[in-house]
Structures are given as structure tokens and as C-alpha cells.
Amino acid sequence: MRRTLRAALAALRLSTALSSLAGLVVVAAIVVPVAAASGPDIEPVPAEDFTLPADICGFEVGVDILANKEKAITFGDGSTMITGTLKVRLTNLDDPTRSIVLNVPGPGRFSESGLTATGPWLFFFLPGDLGEGSPAILAYTTGRVRIDDAGFHQRGGTRTDLCPLLAST
């Protein structure tokens, strides 16, 4: 009889443990899809007019934001995509008759390893920003660009150096 009682108690504990485990599995099955279903975090990307220093082109460049509907979309893996309307005017502040209007909507994805950009982008870097001895860059790109610890890599498309286009003739 004792053996039967012990076996029954053991079976009851096992059944209770399995029921608890099954309950956790059911709760996890409900909670995980709800969390995944909540989707990425989407926020606007604010932008204000600013001035690039003369270290880039040999003259200061005014950057006027003409239209901005960019958004940052942050995904569960921690990466962030920037996309949306961004139109800017670049002006040579030494010769304001020299200006360029650009539509640079991207998109591009930032991750721990760097940035992968596609579509139209405006890039600017001071000398040394991309590593010791790297040159200044003010460029309009189309196509695929990768920026990481090893530098700036054009992987197709075009790259236009904007300093000569803004310089006085």
C-alpha cells in the first residue's frame, strides 16, 4: 500500500510539474508573438540647418533643410533604418551664388558593424574621421555604400564630390 501511495504521490508531482510547464509554454506562446507583433519602434528624425566647417571643402558650407519627413525605424535586433524624405540645399558661404539642392531620402541601415546605405545619400566627414590620414569628404552618392571601421566603401552606383561643384570658379 505504501508503495502504491508513494507512486501515486510521485505521479501527482510529475503531473503538477508537467501542468506548470505546459502553462508556462502556453503563456510563452501567447506573450512572445504579442511582443513580436508589436513591431519595430518608429520615430521622426529631427534636423536643423547647420554649417560644415571649411576643413572639408576649403570654405564653409551652409546646409539648409528644405524638407524633412525622415524616420528612424529601430528593429528588435538593435539595427536602425533611416528612410523618408530629406531635401537639402548646400551653399558655399564664401560665394552664396554657388548652391546645390539635393534629394537624399536613403534608405540606410545602421548596425553594430557600421552603416549600409542604398539610394541617394549625402555624406560629410572631416579629415581623419574615417581613420588616421583619411581625407575630408562631402559627397552625394547613389547605390550601395558601406561605412565601417575600415572606412568608406562605394559598392556600386555613383559618387559625386560636391566641393568642386560648390567652389567659386
Three-class DSSP category at 115 = strand
Query: Is the same domain home to 31 and 77?
Result: no
Please indicate, yes or no, whether residues 31 and 48 belong to a single structural domain of this protein. no
> How many Cα atoms within 13 Å fall on the side-chain side of residue 116?
7
| pLDDT for position 169 | 64
Cα 125 from Cα 123, distance rounded (Å): 7
**Residues of the domain holding 12:** 1-38
Q: How many residues can be counted in the chain? A: 169
Domain co-membership, 79 together with 9: no
How far apart CA 146 and CA 45 sit, in angstroms, is 21
Would you call 147 helix, strand, or coil by DSSP? strand
pLDDT at 37: 54
Residue 53 and residue 95 in one domain:
yes
- Say if residue 84 is in the same domain as residue 130: yes
Handedness of CA 113, 118, 122, 126 (dihedral sign): positive
- Residues 25 and 93 grouped into a single domain: no
Alpha helices in the chain (DSSP H): 2-37, 54-57, 162-166
Q: Which three cell numbers stand for residue 165?
A: 561643384
pLDDT in tens, the chain (169 residues): 333 333 333 333 333 333 333 333 333 333 344 445 578 999 999 999 999 999 999 999 999 999 999 999 999 999 999 999 999 999 999 999 999 999 999 999 999 999 999 999 999 999 999 889 999 999 999 999 999 988 899 998 999 999 999 998 6
68 and 30 co-located in one domain: no
Q: Are residues 25 and 61 in the same domain?
A: no
62 shares its domain with 84: yes
Contact 83, 70 (CB under 8 A): yes
Tell me, yes or no, whether 18 and 65 share the same domain. no
Please indicate, yes or no, whether residues 89 and 68 belong to a single structural domain of this protein.
Answer: yes
pTM of the model: 0.75
Residue 139's SS3 state is: strand
Residue 56: CB atoms within 10 Å: 20
| 155 and 96 belong to one structural domain | yes
Alpha carbon distance 132, 148 (integer Å): 14
Number of domains in the chain: 2
